[in-house]
Amino acid sequence: MADGALVLFSGGQDSAACLAWALDRYDRVETIGFDYGQRHKVELDCRSRLLGALKQGFPEWAARLGPDHMVPLDGLAAVSETALTGETEITMTEAGLPSTFVPGRNILFFTFAAAVAYRRGLKQLVGGMCETDYSGYPDCRDDTLKSLQATLNLGMETRFVVETPLMWIDKAETWAMIDRLGGALLVDLINEESHSCYLGDRTRRHEWGYGCGTCPACELRAAGWRKFKERAA
């Protein structure tokens, strides 16, 4: 086992997969979440349920799972005009990016995570960013995160490693990874308890989980689930 890890844990499918990945690799794992005025704030409720279910269902992981840190970042919503921080329509903007893109979000998340990790003596920063099957956000790109790792290490005089285990796999392969890590129990747990829907809809249950079924996050999750089930058949 290597050094301890701090996982950026939103309560979504990808971050839950990354948490399982970290628990399988590291002796000590802590989590961090951010309340930034997101429209789908229900994901914050999902975080605690997922953490509780992981501890109950996977005793070996429970022994490695340390404190959860929640950081308020209300100012991010105050300076943003996006479909994730306000009740506006999800569209493509003139810049060619989805209106769900929150400028600076992941950069801020990793910066705050690094500050917490510095205090907690954790060297691995784990996030669920992905270039293969994503919404086109520039702060999810591998180049962005490599550059950010260098900046954090220079600015804090340390040696953090930014880990992105999902960077080069699609949503179906993410489900396959979840299956390898924890079998049907983990697949069912993340399917039931995680949240991806941008609109925060937890009233409609689909085979792939809860959500509106029409926003980009739901469409990606649904397509990945179908492909995963087809490959497993």
pLDDT (mean) for 189-203: 94
Say if CB 110 and CB 161 are below 8 A apart. Answer: no
For position 41, what pLDDT does the model report? 79
- Give the list of residues 6+ apart from residue 30 with CB closer than 8 angstroms, or none: 4, 5, 6, 7, 65, 66, 67, 68, 69, 116, 120, 122
Take residue 182 and report the two structure tokens written for it.
């924890």
Structure pTM? Answer: 0.92
More confident residue, 78 or 45: 45
More confident residue, 188 or 137: 188
Task: State the sign of the Cα–Cα–Cα–Cα dihedral 72, 76, 79, 83.
Answer: negative
Say if CB 88 and CB 99 are below 8 A apart. Answer: yes
User: How far is the C-alpha of 148 from the C-alpha of 24, rounded, in Å?
Assistant: 25
CATH fold label, 5-191? Rossmann fold (3.40.50)
- Phi, psi (5° rounding) for residue 81? -130, 80
Domain boundaries, the chain: 5-191
> For the chain, what is the mean pLDDT?
90
User: How far is the C-alpha of 196 from the C-alpha of 42, rounded, in Å?
Assistant: 10
Residue 1 — pLDDT band, cuts 50, 70, 90? very low
For position 102, what pLDDT does the model report? 67
More confident residue, 180 or 94: 180
Burial of 205 (0-12, 13-18, 19+ CB in 10 A): exposed
- Give the list of residues 6+ apart from residue 173 with CB closer than 8 angstroms, or none: 228
Residue 159 — pLDDT band, cuts 50, 70, 90? very high
- The answer to whether residue 56 scores a pLDDT higher than 70 is yes
Residue whose pair of structure tokens reads 């701090």 in the numeric block:
6
Name the amino acid, one letter, at 44: L
More confident residue, 165 or 42: 165
